[in-house]
Amino acid sequence: MRAKQIGLSLAVVLVLAVSFVAYRIIWGTPFSFTHLMTRQAIEMIADSPQALTSVGLFDGAWYDLTSNKLDPYSLADREKRFARVRRLDAELTGWDRSRLSHQEQLSYDILHWSYGRMLADANYPWLGANNKPYPVEQAFGFQKNIINFLLSTHQIKNARLARHYVERVKAVGPLIDAVRADVERQAKLGVVAPDFIIDRSVAQMQALIAPAPKDNALV
């Protein structure tokens, strides 16, 4: 009986210890500044299904819950991102910089500057929901990035990823609708891309849907 009580007590202590460590790792005060930066980086990536696919750690596994989704696109999601960055920056600046090593101070300054740069976009509500002046443009616009992502980044290595790919393709339609509504919102605010950006973007999209030329050798 006494051995059973001791075993139960040890089990309780172990559970409490694991719970405490898990809390410190995920939510509580970080164990080190490096731990803080790592945790913040993971949190930023975890909110982006497409970024998680780029990393490629979970896609196709039984616990993969994101590779069938695209990144959300809405003003509400933009506000959520701003709120998260404000919280992460407050967590960062709550750290005593003077106690950090020279390299850690450099990382601190870069990260703090980066967060400040992200939050500066909140001063310009006319920006697109992705914080870009023009969501559709010929160099890094939505219409180009989503195609590149589906063609080059999402790998189909098993049946699960194949099904998730189909779900992502189906999600492109609603995403196009969201981007179009955002462009219309900008236009009402007087934000319209220059003619050359519109012309080249339209030409890109027309090239994507144009029929492939026939091979004369096979005619």
Dump pLDDT digits (tens) for 39-97: 999 999 988 999 999 988 788 888 899 999 999 999 999 999 999 999 999 999 999 99
CA distance 97 to 109: 9
At 163-173, the pLDDT tens digits run: 999 999 999 99
Q: What is the pTM of this model?
A: 0.79
Of 20, 58, 17, 55, residue with least CA distance to 160: 58
Torsion of CA 36, 122, 51, 42, to 10 degrees: 10
Cα atoms in the Cβ-side hemisphere of radius 13 Å centred on 205: 13
30: how many CB neighbours lie within 10 A of its CB? Answer: 16
Q: Which two tokens stand for residue 150?
A: 């589906």
pLDDT digits (tens, 9 = 90+) for 171-217: 999 999 999 999 999 999 999 999 999 999 988 888 877 666 666 54
Q: Is the pLDDT assigned to residue 24 strictly greater than 50?
A: no
